Structure 1
Amino acid sequence: MESAEAMIAHIQGLSSTPEDLAHLHNLLKQSEDSLESQAPNLGPLLTQLDPSKHSLGYLYILEACASATWGEQENELVSTIAKFIDSCVTEQIRLAPEKFVSVCRKLKDETMQLQMPIRGVAPLRTAVRKLQPTSEHLTTLHPDFLVLCLLAKCYKAGLSILEDDIVEVEQPRDLFLYCYYGGMICIGLKRFRKALELLYYVITSPMSSMNAIAVESYKKYILVSLIHNGQFSNFPKYTSSVISRNQKNFCQYYNELATSYASGKISELQACLETYREKFETDNNVGLVKQVVSSLYKRNIQRLTQMYLTLSLQDIANTVQLNTTKEAEMHVLQMIQDGEIFATINQKDGMVSFHEDPEQYKSCEMIEHIDSSIQRIMALSRKVTAMDEQISSDPIYLAKIGRERQRFDLEDFDTVPQKFHM
Structure 2
Amino acid sequence: MAMESVEAVVAHIQGLSGSQEEVAHLHSLLKQSEDALRSQAARLGAFLHQLDPSVHTLGYLFLLEAYSSDPVCREQDGDFLLSIVEFINSCSAEQIRLAPEKFISVCKSFKDKVMQLQVPIQGIVPLRTAIRKLQASSEQLTTLHSDYLLLCLLAKCYKAGLSILDDDIFEVDQPRDLFLYCYYGGMINIGLKHYRKAWECLHNVITAPMTTLNAIAVEAYKKYILVSIILSGQVPLFPKYTSSTAQRNLKSHTQPYVDLANCYATGTFSELEGCIQTNLEKFQSDSNLGLVKQVLSSLYKRNIQRLTQTYLTLSLQDIANAAQLKTPREAEMHVLQMIQDGEIFATINQKDGMVSFHEDPEQYKTCGMIEHIDSSIHRLMALSKKLGSLDEHMSCDPAYLTRIGKERPRFDFDEFDSVPHKFL
**Offset at 1:343?**
1.2
The letter for the 2-side match of 1:30 is Q
1:177 aligns with 2:198: no
1:111 aligns with 2:106: no
1:309 aligns with 2:312: yes
1:286 aligns with 2:279: no
Map of 1:13 onto structure 2: 15
Q: Which runs of 5+ in 1 are unaligned?
A: 418-422
Map of 2:56 onto structure 1: 54
**Offset at 1:32?**
0.8
The letter for the 1-side match of 2:256 is Y
415 and 371 in structure 1: CA distance in 2 versus 1, 3 angstrom threshold:
closer
Map of 1:324 onto structure 2: 327
Map of 2:243 onto structure 1: 240
Deviation string for 1:194-253 (max 9, x for gaps)?
211111121112222221101101100000000112211110233222223323431111
Deviation string for 1:308-344 (max 9, x for gaps)?
2222222211211112222211111111111111112
**Offset at 1:33?**
1.3
2:354 is aligned, of 343, 348, 351, to: 351
Specify the SS of the correspondent of 1:401.
Answer: helix
154 and 19 in structure 1: CA distance in 2 versus 1, 3 angstrom threshold:
same
Distance, in Å, in 2 between the alignment partners of 1:153 and 1:358 is: 35
**Offset at 1:51?**
0.7
**Offset at 1:67?**
1.9
Deviation string for 1:119-168 (max 9, x for gaps)?
11111111111111111111111111111111011111111111111111
**Offset at 1:399?**
3.2
Identity %: 68
304 and 414 in structure 1: CA distance in 2 versus 1, 3 angstrom threshold:
closer
1:70–1:77: 8 Å Cα contact kept in structure 2? no
103 and 294 in structure 1: CA distance in 2 versus 1, 3 angstrom threshold:
same
The letter for the 2-side match of 1:101 is I
- Measured on the aligned residues, the alpha-carbon RMSD in Å equals 1.9
Q: How does 1:45-194 map to 2 (within 5 A)?
A: 45-68=47-70, 69=72, 73-194=76-197
Deviation string for 1:158-187 (max 9, x for gaps)?
111111111111111111111111111111
Distance, in Å, in 2 between the alignment partners of 1:319 and 1:406 is: 61
**Offset at 1:416?**
5.5
Distance, in Å, in 2 between the alignment partners of 1:134 and 1:357 is: 41
Deviation string for 1:46-71 (max 9, x for gaps)?
11111111110111111111122256
Q: How does 1:32-51 map to 2 (within 5 A)?
A: 32-51=34-53
Distance, in Å, in 1 between the alignment partners of 2:107 and 2:365 is: 48
Map of 1:29 onto structure 2: 31
Distance, in Å, in 2 between the alignment partners of 1:284 and 1:27 is: 49
Map of 1:212 onto structure 2: 215
What TM-score, normalized by structure 2, do the two folds share? 0.94
2:233–2:302: 8 Å Cα contact kept in structure 1? yes
Map of 1:420 onto structure 2: none
What TM-score, normalized by structure 1, do the two folds share? 0.94
Map of 2:259 onto structure 1: 256
Distance, in Å, in 1 between the alignment partners of 2:202 and 2:143 is: 18
Map of 2:422 onto structure 1: none
Distance, in Å, in 2 between the alignment partners of 1:236 and 1:29 is: 48
Specify the SS of the correspondent of 1:391.
Answer: helix
Count matched residues: 415
405 and 320 in structure 1: CA distance in 2 versus 1, 3 angstrom threshold:
closer
325 and 415 in structure 1: CA distance in 2 versus 1, 3 angstrom threshold:
closer
**Offset at 1:405?**
4.2
